[in-house]
Amino acid sequence: SPEARKKFWLDRKRTAAISRHTNAFKINEDVVIPLPRMAEYTDGIERINIELSLRNKLKLCDALEDFFLRGNLPLGRQDDAHEIPSAELLEDRVAQAVALVDEVRALWSGWLRDVETLFPQLQDHTLRASWKTQLRAPLGEIFAGAAFQPIMKEAQAIHQRVLKGRVWVALHMHAGDGNVHTNLPVNSDDYDMLQTAHEAVARIMVLARSLDGVISGEHGIGITKLEFLTDDELRPFAEYKQRIDPDGRFNKGKLLRNQELLAPAGQALQAASIEKLPAHSRRSLMYADLTNAYTPSFGLMGHESLIMQQSDIGAIADSVKDCLRCGKCKPVCATHVPRASLLYSPRNKILATSLLVEAFLYEEQTRRGVSIKHWQEFEDVADHCTVCHKCYTPCPVKIDFGDVTMNMRNLLRKMGKKTFRPGNALAMTMLNATNPDTIKLLRGAMVGVGFKAQRAVVDLLRAVGRKQTAHPPATVGTAALKEQVIHFVNKKLPGGLPKKTARALLDIEDKDYVPIIRNPATTTAETEAVFYFPGCGSERLFSQVGLATQAMLWHTGVQTVLPPGYLCCGYPQRGSGQSDKAEKMITDNRVLFHRVANTLNYLDIKTVVVSCGTCYDQLQGYEFDKIFPGSRIIDIHEYLL
């Protein structure tokens, strides 16, 4: 039922707030706690959160004091005070602010020092460390007036920077089995934040064990909890793995603590100290925990990275960082076909994109050069999207992977990594063309010859095509040429298309004239006028759609204004990764439409009609309300209703 579905997804929706706060990088430490002691565990986590909050507040006090004492505070200007020297204007305000910060710091430090005694009052908010009431409001009174607004703005900015580094522990758990997911969202480019989170994890492990819980939960051990297991706990698994995998081929460098310390005879972990090994041996150890973990980050790259300067890869990563991995996008995705492949749902493409971005950053930061294979994988992800935008509606954090795909394709083009495809090039040539003779030639070649030839080949190879349609092969990467040929001929392209474009049939191809289609017997100059944008698909290729739309508008008794000449909205160019071409096309179209509006201002056009879904999407950014004031964009079907 809708209610049950809403309840099921509610927790994921709440998690979106945590994901948006950070870069969706979290330390997930699931533990198992005996149910009778669950309340003690949640209280223990609450105390850790309170301490982490107080420590963050004390960092804020330090940062504010540094700001006030550094001198050269930013000041605004007032009409009656713009000539007053800064020192005289500030007077003793800085001293008051520093005294306030010291007083609040002393109070919060005392709460942190006596947290064990004061925990009940801090937990129920009887005592509450508040930036808004204890610092911001008094500082606003000290620095009141327009002249001091820059100081307050900077204080607010300092608070936001410090708050971004705050660590907290978020819990969600299974009903009945005691498995508690203990999540710590962090910003992976904040070293201090990572260290604080790691310290909190150590406390959580101690807390779990003290309550007779275990630290091996639903997600197993992984790399983050390995260091908290004793040798006795690891020994049975180490012996088992040595027995079934003596050469260490399975998950090499993982699962076990320092594999090189394992004796080849199958003995379990040795007590030999790493420090006793020679220096070169210590350097060659493959740590299975977080010792040598690498976390790529845009924040660590700065401006020295070539890939960051030449591409929009940072924007691509930022656009998918809030993904919750919930999978609500899968059922609506046209490229998610489980019997063929599980790789190309938006959720899994986001996972792949994130991994590839990490690979790009690692290779760039270590100056290895970005692997060609990584660009090929990046293009493979971008190719598996129809840019239909259906994934946007069910997404709880509103990620539109159609837009992400267009940005990925544009990046590939700008970096010179996009594979040349003759079919795509021919289609874009036709859509970009504006000369009637060129369009006639291309349409004749594609529709008159190409479409007919394809339909004939489908009839000829029907048996081969039916076999692939009934049992589609797995789709991973670019299909082999043989598969591409079979796929091209397993279904017929549309037939029975008009021999000419809609404009050619109506003899209105001259771009120097603005066509107005109306019934002179039933309309006058005062009759309602609509602006119909047919787009390239309804006008050049499937021209019967454009003609049918104009016929329906004719029968409704309105005047139909068409744009002069052959135009494309720019959406196919964006979808193909040609953002610069699309932007130029959009700008030229908007300038042309303004001229049309000025020329036909006596018609008072209030409605822009489209017959194409992609045109409807693209024209939303044309700002037609500024071209035809008070106008709306509407699909022809909705207009007729």
CATH of the domain at 399: 1.10.1060
For residue 21, being part of any structural domain is answered with yes
Whether 19 and 164 map to the same domain: the answer is: yes
Alpha carbons 366 and 388: distance in angstroms, whole number:
37
Provide the CB-side half-sphere exposure for 566 (13 A, CA): 24
> What is the structure's pLDDT at 521?
87
For residue 22, being part of any structural domain is answered with yes
Alpha carbons 626 and 190: distance in angstroms, whole number:
45
Better-scored residue on pLDDT, 190 or 176 = 190
Whether 409 and 429 map to the same domain: the answer is: no
CB atoms near residue 503 (< 10 Å): 22
Which stretches within 136-221 are classed as H helix? Answer: 137-142, 149-164, 191-210
> What is the structure's pLDDT at 589?
93
Whether 307 and 381 map to the same domain: the answer is: yes
Q: Three-class SS string for 342-353?
A: CCCCHHHHHHHH
Task: Report the relative pairing of strands 559-561 and 516-517 from DSSP bridges.
Answer: antiparallel
Give residue-wise pLDDT tens across range 87-140. 666 778 899 999 999 999 999 999 999 999 999 999 999 999 999 999 999 999
For residue 608, being part of any structural domain is answered with yes
Give residue-wise pLDDT tens across range 276-335. 444 443 444 445 666 666 665 555 555 445 555 455 787 888 888 888 888 899 999 999
Give residue-wise pLDDT tens across range 422-472. 888 988 998 889 899 999 999 888 888 888 888 888 888 877 667 766 776
pLDDT-based confidence at 635, cuts 50/70/90?
very high
Give residue-wise pLDDT tens across range 34-89. 989 999 999 999 999 999 999 999 999 999 999 999 878 888 765 554 555 456 66
For residue 183, being part of any structural domain is answered with no
Whether 515 and 540 map to the same domain: the answer is: yes
Alpha carbons 429 and 536: distance in angstroms, whole number:
12
For residue 276, being part of any structural domain is answered with no
CA dihedral 185, 190, 193, 199 (to 10 degrees): 100
For residue 226, being part of any structural domain is answered with no
432 class by beta-carbon count within 10 Å (0-12 exposed, 13-18 middle, 19+ buried)? middle
Assign residue 77 a region (left: φ > 0; alpha: ψ between -120 and 50; beta: otherwise).
beta
What is the full DSSP assignment across 591-633? HHHHHHHHHTGGG---EEEES-HHHHHHHGGG-HHHHTTT-EE
Q: Which residues contact 624 (CB under 8 A, 6 or more apart)?
A: 593, 608, 631, 632, 633
Whether 260 has a pLDDT exceeding 50, the answer reads no
Whether 592 and 570 map to the same domain: the answer is: yes
Whether 533 and 618 map to the same domain: the answer is: yes
Question: What's the structural domain count of the chain?
Answer: 4
Whether 597 and 520 map to the same domain: the answer is: yes
Among 414, 432, 451, give the residue marking a domain's end: 414
Whether 631 and 515 map to the same domain: the answer is: yes
Whether 572 and 530 map to the same domain: the answer is: yes
For residue 167, being part of any structural domain is answered with yes
Whether 305 and 159 map to the same domain: the answer is: no
pLDDT-based confidence at 218, cuts 50/70/90?
confident
For residue 156, being part of any structural domain is answered with yes
What pTM was estimated for this model as a whole? 0.69
Element (H, E) at 231: helix 231-244
Structural domain span for residue 154: 12-172
Nearest to 257 by CA among 283, 219, 228: 228
Residue length, the chain? 641
Task: Share the mean pLDDT of the chain.
Answer: 83
Among 381, 414, 447, give the residue marking a domain's end: 414
Whether 455 and 316 map to the same domain: the answer is: no
Whether 322 and 470 map to the same domain: the answer is: no
